[in-house]
Chains A and B, each alone.
Chain A
Amino acid sequence: MTMIPQMPKSWRLESKPHKFCPGCGHGLVLKALGEAIDELGIQDKVVFGADIGCSLLAWDFFNVDTVQTHHGRTTPVVTGVKRANPDVICIAYMGDGGGYAIGSQHLVNAAARNERITAILVNNCNYAMTGGQMAPTTLPGMKTETTPYGRDVRESGYPTQGPEMVAAITREGSYVARGTVANLKQLKGFLKKALQNQMDGNGFSFVEALSTCPTNWRTNAKDTWAFVEKEMTKFFNVGELKNPAAKEGE
């Protein structure tokens, strides 16, 4: 008897096993996203944009139309698609740099215009693909290749709290949440709601996912989970910030 792996239907078999590092949170986020796409039955309507960085490795991950963009430009490309063809379900997938550094102006403006897209940001506190430089979400004191002595908040500020910023900008109809790979069931729930929000034509949907990067954190399995579950949550609260469906008494 052949064992069929429990993979989401929307996953592309030919690109598995995937290229993410062992222990990387991307694999988990994309699994939750794949299941969300399956359960909502939207596989044929999805356009998936990947950013530069580790998110780039998701470019052949799904059996959906995917486009590689430039660093930080996933949001505008996907916005352009949605504006031209409102029938597709547009997903902008990026890392902390693509959303909060080089892509921040696009994120802020897409939120302000209430673009009917779903942006998913994977937060692992560093620029992993390029070798572990500081990211907007790097924690205070954390050593990275551009903060070799530890991040000094007096010099570079505190870690960016993206969902809070987006929630402050958007008006009615937007869905904003922060999930974590430490609670995949909850994360999948958030992703489903974020996609449903787009399908309902309500407004901008944004989900940040706290994620792991043992490669650049140089942590073993135990310490990796401790970091995402205990350290990162000191600066990033997990939960829903805005949910239009909830207002309707759902």
Chain B
Amino acid sequence: MAEKPIQGEKRVFMTGNEVVAWAALAAKAEIMYGYPITPQNEIMHYWTRLAPKFGKRFLQTEDELSAGFTTLGGVLAGRKAFTATAGPGNTLMQEPMSMAEMMRIPSVVIIQQRGGPSTATVIYSQQEVTMTTYGGNGEGLRVVYSTANHQELFDYTIKAFNTAWKYRFPTFVLGDGYQAKMRESLTIYDPEEKGLEFVPTETFLGKAPVNGVKQPVHLRNTYNTEEELYEVITRYMEEYLKVAPEIIEHREFSCEDADIVVVSHGVVSRAAKVAVQELREEGLKIGYFRPVTLRPFPAEELKKVAARAKTLLLVESAFGQMAKLVKDAIFGSTVALENLFKPGVGITSEEIVVRVKEIEKGALAK
């Protein structure tokens, strides 16, 4: 049995699902709970192959409700536990994740978006944004990272564990079916050798007695009065807003003098990047803005961009799920909003270029 799954760093060629399995190993995750659903099955296939070699554990549960709740159990036991799902499985995952929100359980879940709603397609979409950011019956006190390539899938899966255990909000890595199955090269590495410190876990349930004395804990997610609940939620929200600036991440370029800023996330941002670079080469004043954390959303950063631009072009493989987050973030702004919505379908850089030029033409006509 090898000591560490990854020693030093090396350049490899993998599919996205595999990257997640290796990243979890690199992050020293100890146990995965899961249930089969396309397109994330290979995360389990690789975890179960690698697990015995590195002393890791696995449980295939009876469904996603169980996968979510067993993951919470694993986390409460003080272990780095995680699960992964997609589509209808993500819908089921909202119940356990509501509990995680209420009880501040540092769970890590990887979502590989597929077409929706219902069974739809097993392939790809960005239609689980609303659900992953605000699903469940709460206020969406969660952290959601939207990755765009395999290097990020690796980096952010590792980061997800640290974010979850440091801030104690359920943390998600939001990928999609294309990222899950695409093949790309990336550098995998041992995080500790790179100077990354792992946030230690805490045991909530089953803690050993200290000096022969056991202090039992009583964890609850119910409250008796409205006032009690109000106090708890308000306190959580204040904390969330306070740490949000530490968690928020985004990328932007060419926005200072841009007329139109293309706003996109996840794998679509790759096409957006190419499109914006091309348009700039043609002399058009176009900018690029990409939220990396969808929750908490980089609102201040986008407000600044919106203040200078004439139009924001919102591009996503959904019908306005990211757009809703944008509108909420920039409320009060007078910037014009245009869309390129293609639910369940990939978006190419050519399509974005065409759409931008359409908007430019329309603007000139005025």
Contacts and interface: CB of A to CB of B under 8 A. Distances in A.
Interface of A: 52, 68, 70-72, 97, 101-102, 104, 127, 130-131, 133-134, 136, 145-149, 156
26 contacts: A52-B88, A68-B119, A70-B88, A70-B119, A71-B37, A71-B63, A97-B36, A101-B62, A101-B63, A102-B35, A102-B64, A104-B62, A127-B36, A130-B41, A131-B38, A131-B41, A133-B36, A133-B44, A134-B60, A145-B44, A146-B36, A146-B45, A146-B60, A148-B49, A149-B52, A156-B60
Interface in B292-335: none
Nearest to B39: A130
A52 B119 contact: yes
Contacts of A52: 88, 119
Given A68-B119, A70-B118, A102-B62, A147 B48 contact: yes
Contacts of A70: 88, 118-119
Interface in B1-48: 34-38, 41, 44-45, 48
Contacts of B52: 149
A74 B35 CA distance: 18
A100 to B, nearest CB: 8
Given A145-B45, A146-B44, A148-B49, A130 B63 contact: no
Contacts of B41: 130-131, 133, 145
Interface residues of B, number: 20
Which 5 residue pairs spanning A and B have beta carbons closest together? A102-B63, A133-B36, A101-B62, A130-B36, A145-B45
Of the candidates B35, B44, B60, the one having the most CB atoms from chain A within 10 angstroms of its own CB is B60
Contacts of B44: 133, 145-146
A70 B49 CA distance: 29
A236 B37 CA distance: 27
Contacts of A136: 62
A158 to B, nearest CB: 15
B55 to A, nearest CB: 14
Interface of B: 34-38, 41, 44-45, 48-49, 52, 58-60, 62-64, 88, 118-119
A11 B69 CA distance: 42
B121 to A, nearest CB: 13
Contacts of B62: 101-102, 104, 136
A130 B38 CA distance: 6
Nearest to A102: B63
A71 B88 contact: yes
Contacts of B64: 102
A131 B38 CA distance: 9
Contacts of A68: 119
Contacts of B38: 130-131
Contacts of B119: 52, 68, 70
B45 A72 contact: no
A45 to B, nearest CB: 27
Contacts of B36: 97, 127, 130-131, 133, 146
Contacts of A147: 48
Contacts of B34: 146
Contacts of B88: 52, 70-71
A68 B118 CA distance: 10
A97 B36 CA distance: 10
A148 B48 contact: yes
A72 B35 CA distance: 13
A149 B48 CA distance: 9
B85 to A, nearest CB: 12
Given A70-B88, A133-B44, A136-B62, 9 more contacts: A52-B119, A70-B118, A71-B88, A101-B62, A102-B35, A102-B62, A131-B41, A146-B44, A156-B59
A133 B119 CA distance: 19
B63 A133 contact: no
* A68, A71, A102: most-surrounded residue (chain B CB, <10 A): A102
A145 B36 CA distance: 10
A133 B46 CA distance: 12
A134 B35 CA distance: 10
A136 B88 CA distance: 20
B118 A130 contact: no
Given A70-B118, A71-B88, A146 B37 contact: no
Contact of B60 (A104, A131, A133): A133
A130 B48 contact: no
A194 B62 CA distance: 27
A148 B46 CA distance: 9
B273 to A, nearest CB: 33
